[in-house]
Structure 1
Amino acid sequence: MSRIGKLPVAIPAGVKVEVQGAHIKVSGQKGSLERDLRPEMQVSVENGQVVCKPTGGDKQTMAYWGLTRSLIYNMVVGVSEGFSRVLTIEGVGYRASVSGSTLTLNVGYSNPVAFALPAGITGVVGKDNAITLQGIDKDLIGLTAARIRAVRAPEPYKGKGIRYAGEYVARKVGKTGGKK
């Protein structure tokens, strides 16, 4: 039995959930999200809650049970509250700026890197070179943050690069430069 899958997803005020077979649509004040679900799952709306039930009892179906419930929960939270992810830039001369849907990164390369933000994701750069990504789709925000981080991942010697806020980068000791 899935402990997560058994929990119903409460539908807050202002959020509308429509289930049509293996397709779910969640609408709220911030927007709407749609997703096709696994055919092994039965999803229904009962008493202001979304309930997931498996159709089979094998191990893989039980894994999909918890996954399906988590995906629906993220959709409901996304359209009602939204999600955000913060990235920080470390390094002398490293900076970022946003104009429209293009994030420009100056992170030590000979030319600035222009990163196109996907539709539905907005980016804001703070004073301390903190990039804040906001949107309603948790999957898309995580994927976008990972792609931005991959432009210049933090290196282990000086710690320069783009990292998630609060991420610990294990530091290595460099060469000592002493005599033999």
Structure 2
Amino acid sequence: MSRIAKNPIFIPDNVKIIINKQKIIVKGKNGILKILINPLIKIKINNKQLLFLPKRNNNNVWSYAGTSRSILNSMIIGVTKGFFKKLILFGIGYRVTLNKNILNLMLGYSHPIYYTLPEGIKADINQNEILLKGSNKQLLGQVAANIRSYRTPEPYKGKGIRYSYEKIKIKEIKKK
């Protein structure tokens, strides 16, 4: 049995949750998020709490309930507080600029890289730092991973795009 699914989610006052069969809509100050959950899961709202129960008592169904609970908890946090990811451009000549909704990345290639931010994701630029903000945790992580993939940190000098919390182990230069 999933211990995560057994914990209820407390619904803040400024969040509205609409349950229509298996479609759930979460509304808050940071936007609206929607999800379709597994039909084997039953969700009940009781005294400002979301409860997750399986329709059949089965280990697999309990794991689906735990996953659904985690996703909905992230959605509630996203529409109230929001999420952010910080990327750092580390290298000589690496620059980034923001024009409307398009990131212009200069990463040492012979051409600039243009990345259009999806709807719901905002970026703040401060010298060689990119601060991505959004209410959808999954989309925010995917955007950060896509931007990082243009120039992953290399192991000898550490040049590339890295997360703010990431530690790069620098290898010793190869000797003859």
The TM-score bracket by the shorter chain reads: over 0.9
2:123 is aligned to 123
2:88 is aligned to 88
Supply the distance in 2 between the matched residues of 1:137 and 1:54 (Cα, whole angstroms): 25
1:43-73: CA deviation from partner (whole Å, max 9, x where unpaired): 1211101111112233322221111000000
**Equivalent residue runs for 1:38-77 within 5 Å:** 38-77=38-77
Aligned length: 176
What RMSD in Å do the two structures reach over aligned CA positions? Answer: 1.1
- Give the counterpart letter for 2:152 in structure 1: A
> TM-score scaled by structure 2?
0.96
Matched, 1:151 2:150: yes
Supply the distance in 2 between the matched residues of 1:103 and 1:152 (Cα, whole angstroms): 14
Aligned to 2:69, the other structure's residue is in SS state: helix
1:93-113: CA deviation from partner (whole Å, max 9, x where unpaired): 111111111011111110110
2:140 is aligned to 141
1:71-101: CA deviation from partner (whole Å, max 9, x where unpaired): 0001111111111111111001111111111
- Give the counterpart letter for 1:121 in structure 2: I
* Unmatched segments (≥5 aa) in structure 1: none
Supply the distance in 2 between the matched residues of 1:112 and 1:43 (Cα, whole angstroms): 48
Supply the distance in 2 between the matched residues of 1:164 and 1:56 (Cα, whole angstroms): 42
1:132 is aligned to 131
> TM-score scaled by structure 1?
0.94
Deviation beyond 4 Å, 4+ runs, structure 1? none
Aligned to 1:151, the other structure's residue is in SS state: coil
1:29 is aligned to 29
